[in-house]
Amino acid sequence: MNYMETLGSRAKAASHAAGAAGTAQKNAALAAVAQALRDNTAQIIEANGRDMDNAVQNGMSKAMQDRLRLDASRIEAIANAVGKVIALDDPVGEEVRGWLRPNGLRIRQVRVPMGVIGIIFESRPNVTVDAAVLCLKAGNAVILRGGKEAIHSNTCLVNVMRGALGSAGLPADLVQLVEKTDRETAADMMRLNGYLDVLIPRGGAGLIQAVVRQATVPVIETGAGNCHVYVDATADVDMAVSIADNAKTQRPSVCNAIETLLVHKDIAPVFLPAVRKAFDAHEVVIHGCAVTQEILGGSVIPVTEEDYAREYGDYEIAVRVVDSVEEACRHILTYSTHHSESIVTRDMANAEYFLNHLDSAAVYVNASTRFTDGEEFGFGAEIGISTQKLHARGPMGLLALTTTQYRITGTGQIR
């Protein structure tokens, strides 16, 4: 048994205990976790300090350093977030469907924990607690593999959580950290068939693609967002400007921000100058098609095919004028990463066409794509945003961390 198999078998054994635990016991364990985080604040900050020292020595960027840093208020925020998960409804045990067969067999489809969940993530140590706590609430064991930049912080956080679980009568092995942060161990984790029921990568496109390519265990692909707003001919211009501006500039680095703006030709002469005014406040760089260039003039960079496929993640946008909602949908079907798309319109038929012809995880009418988020959807917390079609799509809350089981009761039926 190699290192990852040892972790896997411990997780599996622990998951059997967690699966049978009731909501009260799981919530008590989560409360113990929150309390332990508060009680060990000094120790956590000390461990994080060692990561921060290394970060400075290794010349980590200020922005990355800020993501890595833990202080008392951030630890308090993490503990508070645990409290919010305690307040969420426990999805385990829900009877999803139930029916009686003509032969008298009663079939119930019941929601049960997934089992063992693997999370591979990058340097933010708050993810260590957030992800673990969601997995625990849904009755799962979790194996966490964070970045080596945060290894001291993560080791301390995981030890604090393990201690709290033990004190609440649940196996400490429900939460384990992969302490070997080399690539070979990560590759072993991606091929931990028989132990890992699902692996969820959280991080940049490079990490996610590496997991998709290498993993033999089931994976939920998250993240990449080439999102669109389409401004239809009948759109309210003020609303369209407000939505396009919000979707592009409120937080351009996130996956539910838009990268391309599609505009119906009839509204383009009015809408484009108006949206440019809004964009100018953030110095948004515009890559425009020929018609866009004609309407907006010199400052527009000619757009390329590559631009339409690009996730800028910055104050930069592609703009294309189209002839119809059909052409807008064809563009989106060609270039989208199937995350979030929005139409701004007053035309009900076009709104329905847009909803029915796109295969993205979230499609909007007259709202910003920035709402594709577990909190905004009302899930209370989120483990990631799935852009694949299998199992879970869009923001993933607790439900995505469960599966179902058929329970069949008979009186001696045979075939």
> Which residues contribute to the site for a copy of itself (CB under 8 A)?
15-16, 19-20, 99, 101, 105, 107, 112-115, 193, 197-198, 212-213, 216, 218-221, 236, 239, 242-243, 245-247, 250, 333, 351, 355-357, 359-368, 370-372, 376-378, 388-391, 393-394, 403-415
CA separation for the pair 399, 381 (Å, rounded):
11
Name the minimum Å distance from CB 356 to a copy of itself: 5
Please say which residue, 36 or 400, places its beta carbon nearer to a copy of itself.
Answer: 400
Name the minimum Å distance from CB 283 to a copy of itself: 20
CA separation for the pair 244, 284 (Å, rounded):
12
Name the minimum Å distance from CB 374 to a copy of itself: 12
Please say which residue, 115 or 147, places its beta carbon nearer to a copy of itself.
Answer: 115
Question: What is the number of alpha carbons within 13 Å of residue 187 lying toward its C-beta?
Answer: 5
Name the minimum Å distance from CB 357 to a copy of itself: 6
Could you give the C-alpha distances from 8 to 75, 155, 363, 385, in angstroms and in order? 29, 18, 38, 25
Name the minimum Å distance from CB 79 to a copy of itself: 26
Burial profile 163-172: b = 16 or more Cβ within 10 angstroms, e = fewer: bbbeebebbb
Name the minimum Å distance from CB 401 to a copy of itself: 10
CA separation for the pair 352, 325 (Å, rounded):
10
Q: Would you state the structure tokens that stand for residue 153, as one six-digit string?
A: 């912080």
Region for residue 59 given its phi and psi (left: phi exceeds 0; alpha: psi -120 to 50; beta: otherwise): left
Please say which residue, 288 or 397, places its beta carbon nearer to a copy of itself.
Answer: 397
Name the minimum Å distance from CB 96 to a copy of itself: 11
- How is residue 222 annotated by DSSP? B
Contacts of 269 (CB under 8 A, 6+ apart): 295
Beta-sheet pairing, 175-177 with 141-145: parallel
Name the minimum Å distance from CB 127 to a copy of itself: 21
Please say which residue, 64 or 239, places its beta carbon nearer to a copy of itself.
Answer: 239
CA separation for the pair 35, 411 (Å, rounded):
48
Name the minimum Å distance from CB 155 to a copy of itself: 29
How many other C-beta atoms lie within 10 A of the C-beta of residue 390?
Answer: 10
Question: What is the number of alpha carbons within 13 Å of residue 132 lying toward its C-beta?
Answer: 32
Please say which residue, 69 or 357, places its beta carbon nearer to a copy of itself.
Answer: 357
Question: What is the number of alpha carbons within 13 Å of residue 320 lying toward its C-beta?
Answer: 24
Consecutive H or E run containing 211 = helix 205-214
Please say which residue, 185 or 404, places its beta carbon nearer to a copy of itself.
Answer: 404
Please say which residue, 18 or 47, places its beta carbon nearer to a copy of itself.
Answer: 18
Name the minimum Å distance from CB 75 to a copy of itself: 27
CA separation for the pair 33, 240 (Å, rounded):
45
Backbone angles phi, psi at 155, to 5 degrees: -60, -45
Question: What is the number of alpha carbons within 13 Å of residue 194 lying toward its C-beta?
Answer: 7
Please say which residue, 73 or 356, places its beta carbon nearer to a copy of itself.
Answer: 356
CA separation for the pair 27, 47 (Å, rounded):
27
Length of the chain counted residue by residue = 415
Please say which residue, 49 or 313, places its beta carbon nearer to a copy of itself.
Answer: 313
Please say which residue, 207 or 300, places its beta carbon nearer to a copy of itself.
Answer: 207
